[in-house]
Amino acid sequence: MNANSPFSNLQAELEQREADGRLRRRRLVDGMQQSRLEVDGAAVLSFCSNDYLGLASHPELVMAMQRGAGEAGVGAAASHLITGHHRLHHELEMALASFVGRPGALLFSTGYMANLGVVTALVGRHDAVFADRLNHASLNDAAVLSRASLHRYAHNDVVALEGLLANSPAKRRLVMVDSVFSMDGDIASLPQLLELCERYDAWLLIDDAHGFGVLGQHGRGVLEHFDLCSPRIIYMATLGKAAGVSGAFVAGEPELIAYLMQTARTYVYTTATPPALAAALLAALPLIEQGVARRAHLQRLIDTLRGGLALRRWRLDASTTPIQPLIIGHNDEALDASEYLREHGILVPAIRPPTVPQGTARLRISLSAAHSVADVELLIETLHAAEGALAQ
Ligand SMILES: *Cc1c(COP(=O)(O)O)cnc(C)c1O
């Protein structure tokens, strides 16, 4: 290390991270995003992806993106409010609004940007935000950036939230919550949360990153799952997970959408995404809507995993979604388990604190309709072997 470098203190921090076993490294992928992946030059069976319906490499989407690029070029060249708003974006917004049954929708470049933009546009210094403790980092960051007071309640604790709402003097109140929690796979008690928001006149921001495309008979997401509809819901979903492409959108009342278009800074001050992405997403929506067989297959894989695992020390936490958390406990053992699987050609990430609470280090298994039942059986068999091998 060069001690004269202006960044030598950063280098020291990186070395400390490495010594603590917290230094992360990227894996290099070749070829298409599929359940069988080429990673760091080796073929693996992957249970890491959010491509829940197997659309990321679907030939119809690939063709639609190529056609979109032929028609609109590869770049949007400007922000939406200047000249970047292409007819393909426009058609996609209308299709998304109608798909989730809301009056209007606004596209964002990513889910992270959508959450930052919405929360900072809607609340400020004298307002209050109420957030589930296990919410995604982008919602927490958004609340901090908004300068509103942030009240985090224990995971899915509706009673605790009611206490906070009842005691809040804030003029504007925003409750924000993941629909499907990204490290646990459980679903938020949205009907009860909505009822509280109605009683205490709060807005409800639902982040459906892991529900859109997956939940509901037609894959419309968590609103369809619970048959929820209310003008106070601010619905956000991402388009890089089950939809297989990239981006995000917010859907809701027309005045909400019109206001966000003017004031959400991550919408106003950024280049529109390439219209070809919108073309691919327009091709994805009918596949999601007609994806009943894909979702039934995914459910069968979830049942196969949950029914087939017979572990002695490790346990699968309750989850009805494709996110299946296998709780191992100790950080080192979770890492060893992930490493054992990798040596046997299976990729499952180990998730450790502070991403999850102390003592709940886990393997985060993500299932996709692109997996076969045999893939899941192989995972089960290898997990049984890993638990036995690591006990010695
Ligand atoms: C992935 C994710 C996001 C961020 O979406 P991107 O489009 O990947 O930026 C936001 N919220 C939740 C719950 C997520 O899982």
Q: Do residues 269 and 301 both lie within one domain?
A: no
SS3 call for 388? helix
Give a yes or no: residue 5 inside a domain. Answer: no
* DSSP letter string, 74-100: S---SBIIIII--HHHHHHHHHHHHHH
**CA–CA distance from 5 to each of 1, 9, 15, 23, 116 (Å)?**
8, 9, 15, 21, 34
Nearest to 132 by CA among 164, 158, 154: 154
Q: Do residues 159 and 32 both lie within one domain?
A: no
Give a yes or no: residue 8 inside a domain. Answer: no
- Quick one: pLDDT at residue 244? 98
46 lines ligand 1 (CB under 6 A): no
Final residue before a domain boundary, out of 253, 271, 289: 289
Residue 66 confidence (pLDDT) above 90: yes
140 lines ligand 1 (CB under 6 A): no
Q: Do residues 181 and 253 both lie within one domain?
A: yes
Give a yes or no: residue 241 inside a domain. Answer: yes
User: Which residues are within 8 A (CB) of 375 and not within 5 positions of it... i.e. 6 or more apart?
Assistant: 35, 45
Q: Do residues 274 and 188 both lie within one domain?
A: yes
- HEC profile of 116-150: HHHHHHHCCCCCEEEEECCCCHHHHHHHHHHCCEE
What mean pLDDT is predicted for residues 302-318? 97
12 alpha carbon – ligand 1 mean position (Å): 31
210, 321 contact by CB (below 8 A): yes
Q: Do residues 43 and 83 both lie within one domain?
A: no
209 alpha carbon – ligand 1 mean position (Å): 6
Q: Do residues 143 and 181 both lie within one domain?
A: yes
Give a yes or no: residue 16 inside a domain. Answer: no
Q: Do residues 279 and 342 both lie within one domain?
A: no
Q: Which residues are catalytically annotated?
A: 182, 210, 241
Cα dihedral 345→379→349→132 (10° resolution): 170
Q: Do residues 150 and 199 both lie within one domain?
A: yes
94 beta partners: none
CATH number for the domain spanning 332: value is: 3.90.1150.10
What mean pLDDT is predicted for residues 235-260? 98
Phi, psi of 140 (to 5 degrees): -65, -45
Give a yes or no: residue 17 inside a domain. Answer: no
67 beta partners: none
Sheet holding 42-46, edge to edge: 29-30, 36-39, 42-46, 346-347
Give the tens place of pLDDT for each residue, 121-143: 999 999 999 999 999 999 999 99
Give a yes or no: residue 95 inside a domain. Answer: yes
CATH number for the domain spanning 151: value is: 3.40.640.10
What mean pLDDT is predicted for residues 23-34? 93
Give a yes or no: residue 362 inside a domain. Answer: yes
182 lines ligand 1 (CB under 6 A): yes
The token duo for 206 is 């639902």
Q: Which amino acid is at 287?
A: L
pTM: 0.97
Cα–Cα distance between 104 and 109 in angstroms, integer?
Answer: 17
The token duo for 9 is 């203190």
SS3 call for 241? coil
Final residue before a domain boundary, out of 289, 316, 350: 289
Can you give the residue range of the structural domain that contains 162? 59-289
The mean pLDDT value of the chain amounts to: 97
Residue 312 vs residue 20, higher pLDDT: 312
Pocket test for ligand 1, best of 140, 238, 366 (most atoms within 8 A of CB): 238
Kindly provide the residue ranges of all beta strands, DSSP E only, lying in the chain, ordered along the sequence: 29-30, 36-39, 42-46, 104-108, 128-132, 149-153, 173-178, 203-207, 233-238, 248-252, 315-316, 323-329, 346-347, 350-351, 361-366
- Quick one: pLDDT at residue 142? 98
Q: Do residues 131 and 190 both lie within one domain?
A: yes
244, 61 contact by CB (below 8 A): yes
Give a yes or no: residue 277 inside a domain. Answer: yes
What mean pLDDT is predicted for residues 167-196? 97
The backbone region for 244, taken as left when phi is positive above 0, alpha when psi lies in -120 to 50, beta otherwise, is left
Structurally, how many domains does the chain consist of?
2
Peptide bond into 354 cis (omega under 30): yes
Residue 88 confidence (pLDDT) above 90: yes
Buried b (16+ CB within 10 A) or exposed e, 226-242: bebeeebbbbbbbbbbb
Q: Do residues 136 and 258 both lie within one domain?
A: yes
Ligand 1: which atom is nearest the Cα of residue 110?
7
Q: Do residues 239 and 120 both lie within one domain?
A: yes
Q: Do residues 46 and 87 both lie within one domain?
A: no
User: Which residues are within 8 A (CB) of 381 and not within 5 positions of it... i.e. 6 or more apart?
Assistant: none
209 lines ligand 1 (CB under 6 A): yes
Nearest to 281 by CA among 116, 111, 60: 60
Give the tens place of pLDDT for each residue, 197-245: 999 999 999 999 999 999 999 999 999 999 999 999 999 999 999 999 9
Final residue before a domain boundary, out of 289, 323, 339: 289
- Quick one: pLDDT at residue 21? 81
203 lines ligand 1 (CB under 6 A): no
